[in-house]
Amino acid sequence: MIRVQEEDFDAGKEIRALTRGKKRIGGVASFIGLVRESTNNETISSLTLEHYPGMTEKILEQIEKDARERWSLHEVLVIHRIGRMEPGEQIVLVVTTSAHREAALKSCQFLIDKLKTGAPFWKQEDTPKGSHWVTERPDDINASERWDTETKAECARFNHGSGDLTKAS
Amino acid sequence: MIRVQEEDFDAGKEIRALTRGKKRIGGVASFIGLVRESTNNETISSLTLEHYPGMTEKILEQIEKDARERWSLHEVLVIHRIGRMEPGEQIVLVVTTSAHREAALKSCQFLIDKLKTGAPFWKQEDTPKGSHWVTERPDDINASERWDTETKAECARFNHGSGDLTKAS
Amino acid sequence: MRILYFGWVRSKIGTGTQDIEVPNAAKNVRDLINHLSSLDNTYEQVFRDLTVIRVAVNQEMADMETLIEDAKEIALFPPMTGG
Amino acid sequence: MRILYFGWVRSKIGTGTQDIEVPNAAKNVRDLINHLSSLDNTYEQVFRDLTVIRVAVNQEMADMETLIEDAKEIALFPPMTGG
């Protein structure tokens, strides 16, 4: 499930709603991205996120679909905020659930890695010296691309409980 | 921080308490382990966890220390429940926080992998056919051991923001 | 044709959306950008280095050679920085 | 000396804690286990296959060859299954 919204989110509440009554889930992995007070030794007073409405949702849905092809997952949730945020505020939440922890943890990392450079969001940082657009980090490009070189067979190694999942309604 | 307790936990509340006012944290990774309703096609009516009081806390503190040597982490929290739990209940919570996502996600996986086979907990499953002690899974042993063959240099590659962290009070 | 801009491309051009008449000779995205650059010095500056420009045609990632004949919506923007 | 049992080892022995007089000749964990097995058939059965037995001496992981001279507390248990 994909949500793009201005409002903050309650990760605990979202995780509870996602897993309630789903007794086949053995592992829940989550990642929360926060606005930091400084990057590259520069003070950040606020961050503004803009996106491409319509395309953002399509791309995030495709990334979720790609994750589900690689791992046997039960529930998946991505919430990405847009608009203005201050240091300490939550930007993004990724939650993945599976019978086993490996699929949940790997797919959580996959989703956040992929959406960093593959979903149409753009960050602008406000600093005491003025505003600037954030440029993409080479580490983020590498983190995304490593998943493309990793074979699906490699992922399948961590992919437990697919038999169970097939039987799920 | 390590907690071994009978009571359930609220992951969202724990994460909020851990990150509140810590504006140098950019990524929060978490893992929640849940009791599944069945394993190996056998129905589980409940799970009872026993542990070695005193040693459990020492071992978990050592695993946290090992994680902090491998990655630049801010806050770390492990809550492990003991006693009787029913399907759908939470067993364990691991939360790691760092300036960047890679350190948070990797260390979260490290902690859960290590405590599965390295901390003195023992699970007993109650099924309609009776109770039995859970045996260790070969996959869990492999998941723990892969961290020992992975060099610390490999981890350092993901280890951003250590300069920042050194300056932290 | 509707052209959308995001990030610093939007900031520099000064608007996020434009409806533009594209000449029939413009077959692909590169042609469209060349047309824009011929119109105004601002476009020429924004699109001088195409290695820092990403493009989506009808909300799907595309490249400079993608044909625009069936395009309803073309977006031009810098590398994405989400998460 | 205080001996602790956990998991199925505890279930089979029927208690989690015992205070035992260990003969001076028992130098390491293996000697201690042999001593226990000599006392009672239950111990002999539990400790027949030592590949499934793990040990901690003074709350630190140890093995069958670990010396027990300074041990206050020795724990015998199956492989751990936490998380």
Q: Beta strands D73-77 and A46-51: pairing type?
A: unpaired
pLDDT, one tens digit per residue, over B87-119 is: 999 999 999 999 999 999 999 999 999 999 999
Phi, psi of D23 (to 5 degrees): -65, 150
As a whole number of angstroms, the distance between CA B121 and CA B110 comes to: 17
Taking 50 as the threshold, does the pLDDT of residue C37 lie above it? yes
pTM of structure: 0.92
What is the CB neighbour count within 10 angstroms for residue D58?
14
Please indicate whether, in this complex, the C-beta atoms of B38 and A27 are within 8 angstroms of each other.
no
pLDDT, greater one: C26 or B149:
C26
Chains with ≥3 CB–CB distances under 8 Å to C:
A
Do C and D share at least 3 CB pairs under 8 Å? no
- A162 pLDDT band, cuts 50/70/90, is very low
Taking 70 as the threshold, does the pLDDT of residue A161 lie above it? no
Taking 90 as the threshold, does the pLDDT of residue B142 lie above it? yes
**Per-residue pLDDT for chain D (83 aa), expressed as one digit of tens each?**
999 999 999 999 999 999 999 999 999 999 999 999 999 999 999 999 999 999 999 999 999 999 999 899 999 999 999 99
Please indicate whether, in this complex, the C-beta atoms of A115 and C4 are within 8 angstroms of each other.
no
Which residues from B are below 8 Å from D when comparing CB atoms? 33, 49-52, 54-55, 58, 80, 91-92, 112, 115-124, 133-136, 140
- C53 pLDDT band, cuts 50/70/90, is very high
Considering only CB atoms, which chain B residues are within 8 Å of A147? none
Task: Show the tokens assigned to B128.
Answer: 């309609």
pLDDT, greater one: C54 or B157:
C54
**Closest in D59, D60, D77 to B122, CB measured:** D77
Strand order of the sheet with strand A2-5? Answer: A2-5, A76-81, A90-98, A27-34, B27-34, B90-98, B76-81, B2-5
**pLDDT the model gives residue D45:** 97
A61 close to B (CB below 8 A): no
pLDDT, one tens digit per residue, over A68-99 is: 999 999 999 999 999 999 999 999 999 999 99
**pLDDT the model gives residue B169:** 34
Length of chain D: 83
Pairs of CB atoms within 8 A across A/C:
74
Lowest mean pLDDT segment, chosen from A57-66, B42-51, B116-125, B152-161: B152-161
Q: What is the mean pLDDT of chain C?
A: 97
**pLDDT the model gives residue A159:** 53
In percent, the amount of chain A with pLDDT more than 90 equals 86
**pLDDT the model gives residue D12:** 97
Find residue D74's DSSP bridge partners: D3, D57
- B20 pLDDT band, cuts 50/70/90, is very high
For C14-63, the three-class secondary structure string (H helix, E strand, C coil) is CCCEEECCCCCCCCEHHHHHHHHHHHCHHHHHHCCCHHHCEEEECCEEEC
As a whole number of angstroms, the distance between CA B105 and CA A31 comes to: 8
ipTM of this complex prediction, to 2 decimal places = 0.92
Query: What sign does the CA torsion over A132, A136, A137, A143 have?
Result: positive
**Closest in A58, A80, A136 to C81, CB measured:** A136
**Closest in B11, B36, B112 to A24, CB measured:** B36
